[in-house]
A and B are shown apart, each in its own frame.
Chain A
Amino acid sequence: MVEKLMSKVYYLMSPQTMTKIQYQYDPKHFENSEPTFFKEKDLTAEEMVINIGPQHPSTHGVLRLEVVTDGEVVKDVIPHIGYLHRCFEKHCEALPFNQIIPFVDRMDYLSAMNSEHIYCLGVEKMLGITEEIPPRVEYIRVVMAELNRLASHFVAVGAYAIDLGAFTAFLWMMRDREHILRMLEWASGARMLYNYIWVGGVFYDLPVGFEERCQEFIDYLRPKLQELQDIVIFNKIFIERTADIGVLPLDLAINTGCTGPMLRGSGLKLDYRKTDGYSIYPELDFDVPVGEGKVGTKGDCWDRNYVRVLECYESLKIIEQCLGRLTTDLKRTRDFKPHQAVPKKIWPEKGDLYFRGESPKGELGFYFRAQGKRDVPLRVKARSGAYSNLSAIGEISKGALVADLIAILGSVDIVLGEVDR
């Protein structure tokens, strides 16, 4: 019996089988896989092409970076995307407007509420029912969206810390994000992909006790954000790793279409919640933090992360104001119907609309074309913030070290679900 078993082991370990299992180099493999942008003839003698990803954890998903290096110095970076392409726009050709919402969730899966919110506002604008939405519904939506913005920024900063080798902050951020996810689960029934905000309303009223629990959480979170600043943002090692790295000048940022914290990190006070004034944001009081180059150059990796942390404070301010309204004049009543304004038929008039909003990653815009008398759109195009932000990486990482390239990529805060759609 033992001999029989051993012979099997010997067979598996024999040279013939081992060579079958092991990878054998074949020049044709490069032709079969996605071809590189730089070919052998484009390179000088010192240069070398290195692939980072698509299965590398520091690329934050399935991003493949083709890096031309000269020793330790990065000469050029070509991102290859599309590994998470799920045909969002093709699906939209066949689905009614309300059934697209779950697909919108899956684009930026770290801040699904924000995407839903912007999408639904766009469809409502096409239907012309923006004024009919009950104020309580709109306040609930904004609370949800801002909670989700917090969660998204926590992942961004926490995962960035782990990119640079700081493990503690990541665990702290995940702990606080968990509180948010549990609250969103309490309200909607799902942890990440909610389908909570509907065209014309929300899925359900807030559960009893949500407002008080949310206020408790805000009181808990303020000191934690200060702790985060102490351990990460103003940590000497963190500053050394990120200050003056990956500087994105403002003109380049605008020209490459960077939006969101990336543009604000470069010093421009552009926030669509302020400029477009959609939803109830004009009624709320909050600031737009911008990068100032406090420890290095304006627009470096440190600035982008600092802007995200400051934005967390602003989100807390917004949530607090909304909770104030939700517990006083817009209080829960017995006859409140969250589906009151939900249209029976979502038949927008024939025509086009580009609607955009501020998601945590940047400008999230939807280009709609409705065909009229049908609830299926002719075309929905999604313009995601991370897609344009990522396209700037080649420009800002030239001349950086390979280790800094990871720091630059992390500071862009991409979600590949949104880049590839």
Chain B
Amino acid sequence: MTFQETVAHLQEKFGPEAILSSEPQGLQEMITVSVDRLADICQELYAHEQCYFDLLSCITGMDNGPKEGTMEVIYNLYSIPFNQPLCLRVMLERNAEDQEAPSVPTVSHIWKTANWHERETFDLFGIRFEGHPDLRRILLPHDWDGHPLRKDYKEQEKYHGITVKY
């Protein structure tokens, strides 16, 4: 399936409210989907025999800053038999410091790759993945404060008596 066919198929299956936008122009084709239907859409892309996106390459978190007020999670899929890449994206409302972090349904039950990549995104951005089997920090120590790739991140003064800022 080409990109347009994939978009048309998803729109037919899940309705226009699930597929928010699709941008075939530019450097990369990207589909923006709604957060609630993400797991279903991924399951469809994985299982449908004309799509067959069997390899999840990468999950990227993105923080657009307090001015924009959004965060993103981007999924790069690849279909080995059809040699076809696909880029999925969900937009999230950015939380201020005192608010609860945004959450996304996990896809780690579909692709096991997602397990560690979602943990990494949680570690660096604080985005929670609902239904993830083991959502712990992965790159930073378990008792680290804050999520470093957020735009409003302030490093802590001391970590176990070590001055953090140099």
Contact = CB atoms under 8 A, between A and B. Distances in A.
Q: Which of A81, A85, A257, A378 has the most CB of B within 10 A?
A: A257
Nearest to A382: B58
Given A367-B58, A379-B60, A87 B148 contact: yes
Given A35-B142, A367-B60, A90 B113 contact: no
Interface string B100-144: 000000000001110111000000100000000010111111100
A268 interface: yes
A52 B99 CA distance: 39
Interface in A331-371: 349, 351-354, 356, 363, 365, 367, 369
A353 to B, nearest CB: 5
B28 A85 contact: no
Q: Which of B58, B134, B142 has the most CB of A within 10 A?
A: B58
A241 interface: no
A27 B124 CA distance: 30
A405 B49 CA distance: 36
A43 interface: no
A213 B60 CA distance: 43
A354 B112 contact: no
A56 B158 CA distance: 29
A126 B80 contact: no
A354 B113 contact: no
A55 interface: no
Nearest to A78: B134
B60 A257 contact: no
A22 interface: no
Interface residues of B, number: 36
Contacts of A89: 124, 149
B76 A354 contact: yes
A352 B30 contact: yes
Interface string A252-289: 10111100000000001010000100000000000000
Interface stretch (A66-74, A150-158, A383-391): A383-391
Contact of B57 (A82, A126, A352, A383): A383
B163 interface: no
B30 to A, nearest CB: 7
Nearest to B123: A82
B146 interface: no
A257 B138 CA distance: 17
A300 B80 CA distance: 22
Given A379-B60, A388-B113, A367 B139 contact: no
B80 A270 contact: yes
B62 interface: yes
Contacts of B58: 354, 365, 367, 381, 383
Interface string B137-166: 111111000001100000000001000000
Interface string A48-77: 000000000000000000000000000000
Contacts of A367: 58, 60, 74, 76
Given A126-B27, A391-B116, A395-B112, 16 more contacts: A37-B134, A81-B138, A81-B139, A82-B138, A82-B139, A90-B148, A255-B111, A256-B113, A257-B55, A351-B27, A354-B58, A354-B85, A356-B57, A367-B60, A391-B113, A391-B115
Interface of B: 26-28, 30, 54-58, 60-62, 74, 76, 80, 83, 85, 87, 111-113, 115-117, 124, 134, 136-142, 148-149, 160
7 contacts: A93-B149, A252-B112, A257-B113, A365-B58, A378-B62, A388-B116, A392-B112
